[in-house]
Amino acid sequence: MKWEAGDDGTDPLLGEHPSSQVRLLPGSPYGGETSILITDSGKGPLSRIADEADSALLASGTEIATRAGILLADPSANEAEPRFALHRTVGALTDVLRIAESRCAGRLELGGQ
């Protein structure tokens, strides 16, 4: 999604100068398309819900990494178990990378400001 300013730099729909930030949301519920939250403060109810989702994903990733480490250190693990652990770890890493992108580079101000 790209925001394009009107001739005077205002939002063409709202007629306001943008001071909002774009935040990538966790997951891709719409066939792999990125979901975003546009907010002006980052402290509203939707931002808090997104923060809680990020925290839950990070906690889950920590648990998955811990369990995968234990499993990989277990010489009695069968062939399927490390493969399953790797699959879950890749999913958790994908979530962590999306969160990092959102918190670092993904919080872009609209209009290139």
Low-confidence ranges of the chain (pLDDT < 50): 1-18, 106-113
Non-local (6+) Cβ contacts of 17 within 8 A are: 9, 10, 11, 111
Tens-digit pLDDT profile for residues 65-89: 999 999 999 999 998 999 999 999 9
Half-sphere exposure of 95 (CA within 13 A, CB side): 21
Percentage of the chain beyond pLDDT 70 is 65
pLDDT of residue 98: 83
pTM score, whole prediction: 0.65
Structural tokens at position 25: 């949301």
